[in-house]
């Protein structure tokens, strides 16, 4: 756009310079040629009022302006006419010299013949009249040709000025159209680029909803983290409660077993009471095993529920597996404690059976060897241990009954079991969902990584594009502002050029009017010269007649002079012969005297 504006400006400046140069050169050439032609045509013109053509001051154009077509031919023709006039002036000067010489000779001859001078006009005025008569036709012809050429040149100048004006208007309109088209094209291109960028941004926002997916995934991950934290907290609470219950149960079982062992140790060695004790001990063992199995089953069920409720498949190797290992350790400890209790019961059974076996076949030997006090002491120890064990078992039964009552009460209320079942279902579904989410999150994590990298690259590209577009828009805005300012300047220059052209045209018109007036003045002067030449024509005719008569008289006079000269020469021949004879005689006389 700037190049177009510069070319348009240079074209307008060149055109203005060409027009100004044409006007200046035309005026200067017309002035010089007119003055030279008038000076060459009128060497001694009569004194008339000064009517020199006046030209207005025209502003200078460019130095390299063009010339008018045909002006060189006119200048060449004027030069040829000037050379011809100079040659003819030289010829006329020679003729004038010859006429003056002949006139002097004729005057001398007439003076010698008649003895009186012949009156005649003054030499200078007479010769001027003769020359004016001779040059009248040539001047009329030259002036007619000059007038025709001047009229043709004026018409040609008017045509050129009109053509230059039309060309200026066309170039102005073409420049405005090109500028408008360029501005429209740039505006359309910018709008298309902005539209494509908006479409790309909208397409990225609508089709590749990465931001929405990432935000939703982030929210879901946050929710999962919160749920995991809640589950971990509940697992810690359950772990602490389970640890407390386990410690309490272990304490109860140990105290009950210690009591039972004390009772068994304190039992006396009565034979009749041993079998009843053995049967009671077997029933107690069965009851204890049943209670322990029930407790173990309930403990296993509770641990399994807690394990199912707190061990999602998705979070293996994270927080929950630590709780699972802790529960496994608690389970192994409970199993170890139960196995220890079973071992103690087996030892007690073996002890009781061995005591009973030894007392049955060898009752008489024992009565002989053992004293009653020892049996009473052992019975007392056994009784004490059994009492302690029975107390521990009673306490354990009470605790289990309390637990069963509490569980029954909770089951009667129906809320805890439903919540546990619902929690199981929810946790199972959450486990499956978390397992699927684990795979999805692993896949989405990779995809999000790729998407983040690609999105960062795309974001950098978009940021760079937006920055480039912003810079381009700023540059285009500055260019548009500069173009608008330049356009305003060009409009001002065009207006100034228009005013200058209108002023130049007005000056040309005024100059043409002045030239026309000058031509009219020249025509009037030429008519005056023609009138003078017509008056001089009569003088020329009279001079021709005088010349003819002078030629006739000169021929007659020359013939008379020739005759006179021949007669004089004949007359002079006789004295010449006499003189020669006298000279010869004188010479001979001198010789004789010597």
**Ordered per-residue pLDDT tens for the chain, 594 residues:** 556 656 666 666 666 666 566 666 666 766 676 666 556 555 444 444 333 333 333 333 334 444 444 445 555 666 676 676 677 667 666 666 666 665 666 566 655 555 544 444 444 565 566 666 666 666 666 667 666 776 776 677 677 777 777 776 777 677 667 766 766 776 676 667 666 666 665 654 444 445 555 566 567 667 766 766 776 676 677 667 666 766 776 676 667 667 666 666 665 444 444 444 445 555 555 666 666 666 666 655 655 555 454 444 344 344 344 445 555 665 566 666 666 666 666 666 566 555 544 444 444 444 444 445 655 666 666 667 666 666 666 666 676 666 667 666 655 555 545 555 665 665 666 566 557 656 655 665 676 567 567 667 766 777 777 677 777 767 767 777 776 777 778 778 777 777 877 777 787 777 778 777 877 877 777 777 667 666 666 766 776 777 777 677 767 777 777 777 777 777 777 777 777 777 788 788 777 776
Specify the residue for token string 């005056």: 528
pTM, whole model, 2 decimals? 0.21
For residues 165 and 167, give the distance between their C-alpha atoms in angstroms, rounded to a whole number: 5
Specify the residue for token string 């007619």: 144
Q: pLDDT at position 315, please? A: 40
Residues β-bridged to residue 385: 262
Q: pLDDT at position 551, please? A: 74
Residue 75 burial (CB count, 10 A): 14
Return the sign of the alpha-carbon dihedral for residues 261, 266, 268, 272.
negative
Assigned token pair, 494: 């065009």
SS3 of 254-315: HHHHHHHHHHHHHECCCHHHHHHHHHHHHHHHHHHHHHHHHHHHHHHHHHHHHHHHHCCHHH
* Residues 6+ away with beta carbon under 8 Å from 4: 175, 178, 179, 182
Largest Cα–Cα separation, the chain:
257
CB 40 within 8 A of CB 85: yes
Residues β-bridged to residue 266: 381
Query: Environment class of residue 567 by beta-carbon count within 10 Å: exposed (0-12), middle (13-18) or buried (19+)?
Result: exposed
**By three-state DSSP, how is residue 50 classified?**
coil
* Residues 6+ away with beta carbon under 8 Å from 519: 147, 150
Radius of gyration of the chain (CA): 77
**By three-state DSSP, how is residue 127 classified?**
helix
Q: pLDDT at position 122, please? A: 45
* Residues 6+ away with beta carbon under 8 Å from 182: 1, 4
How many residues appear in the chain?
A: 594
Residue 570 burial (CB count, 10 A): 9
Residue 219 burial (CB count, 10 A): 10
């Amino acid at each position: 756009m700037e190049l177009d504006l510069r070319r348009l400006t240079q074209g307008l400046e060149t055109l203005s310079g060409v027009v100004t140069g044409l006007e200046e050169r035309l005026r200067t050439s017309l002035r010089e040629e007119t003055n030279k032609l008038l000076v060459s045509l009128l060497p001694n013109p009569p004194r008339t009022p000064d009517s020199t053509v006046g030209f207005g001051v025209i502003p200078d154009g460019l130095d390299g302006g063009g010339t008018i077509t045909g002006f060189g031919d006119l200048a060449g023709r004027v030069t040829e006419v000037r050379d011809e006039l100079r040659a003819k002036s030289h010829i006329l000067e020679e003729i004038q010299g010859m006429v003056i010489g002949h006139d002097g000779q004729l005057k001398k001859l007439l003076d010698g013949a008649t003895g009186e001078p012949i009156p005649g006009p003054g030499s200078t005025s007479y010769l001027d009249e003769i020359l004016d008569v001779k040059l009248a036709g040539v001047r009329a012809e030259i002036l007619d040709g000059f007038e025709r050429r001047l009229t043709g040149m004026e018409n040609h100048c008017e045509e050129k000025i009109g053509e230059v004006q039309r060309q200026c208007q066309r170039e102005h309109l073409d420049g405005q159209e090109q500028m408008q088209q360029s501005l429209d094209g740039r505006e359309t291109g910018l709008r298309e680029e902005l539209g494509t960028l908006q479409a790309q941004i909208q397409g990225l926002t609508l089709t590749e909803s990465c931001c929405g997916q990432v935000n939703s995934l982030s929210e879901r991950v946050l929710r999962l983290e919160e749920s995991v934290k809640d589950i971990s907290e509940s697992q810690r609470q359950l772990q602490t409660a389970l640890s407390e219950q386990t410690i309490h149960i272990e304490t109860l079982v140990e105290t009950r077993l210690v009591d039972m062992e004390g009772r068994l140790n304190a039992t006396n060695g009565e034979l009749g009471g041993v079998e009843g004790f053995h049967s009671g001990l077997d029933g107690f063992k069965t009851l204890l095993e049943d209670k322990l199995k029930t407790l173990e089953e309930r403990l296993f069920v509770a641990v399994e529920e807690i394990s199912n409720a707190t061990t999602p498949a998705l979070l293996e190797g994270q927080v929950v597996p630590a709780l699972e290992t802790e529960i496994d350790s608690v389970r192994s400890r409970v199993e170890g404690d139960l196995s220890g209790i079973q071992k103690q019961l087996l030892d007690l059974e073996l002890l009781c059976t061995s005591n009973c076996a030894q007392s049955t076949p060898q009752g008489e030997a024992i009565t002989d060897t053992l004293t009653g006090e020892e049996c009473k002491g052992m019975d007392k120890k056994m009784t004490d241990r059994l009492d302690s064990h029975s107390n521990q078992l009673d306490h354990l039964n009470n605790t289990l009954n309390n637990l069963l009552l509490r569980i029954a009460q909770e089951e009667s209320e129906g809320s805890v079991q439903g919540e546990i079942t619902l929690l199981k279902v929810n946790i199972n579904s959450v486990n499956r969902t978390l397992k699927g989410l684990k795979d999805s999150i692993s896949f989405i994590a990779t995809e999000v990584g790729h998407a983040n990298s690609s999105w960062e690259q795309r974001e950098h590209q978009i940021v760079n594009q937006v920055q480039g577009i912003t810079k381009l828009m700023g540059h285009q805005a500055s260019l548009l502002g500069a173009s608008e300012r330049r356009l305003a300047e060009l409009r001002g220059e065009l207006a100034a050029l228009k005013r200058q052209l209108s002023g130049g045209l007005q000056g040309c018109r005024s100059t043409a009017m002045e030239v026309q007036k000058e031509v009219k003045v020249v025509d009037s002067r030429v008519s005056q010269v023609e009138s003078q030449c017509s008056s001089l024509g009569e003088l020329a005719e009279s001079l021709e007649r005088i010349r003819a008569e002078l030629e006739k008289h000169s021929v007659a006079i020359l013939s008379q002079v020739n005759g006179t000269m021949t007669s004089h020469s004949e007359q002079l021949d006789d004295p010449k012969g006499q003189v020669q004879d006298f000279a010869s005689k004188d010479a001979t006389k001198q010789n004789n005297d010597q």
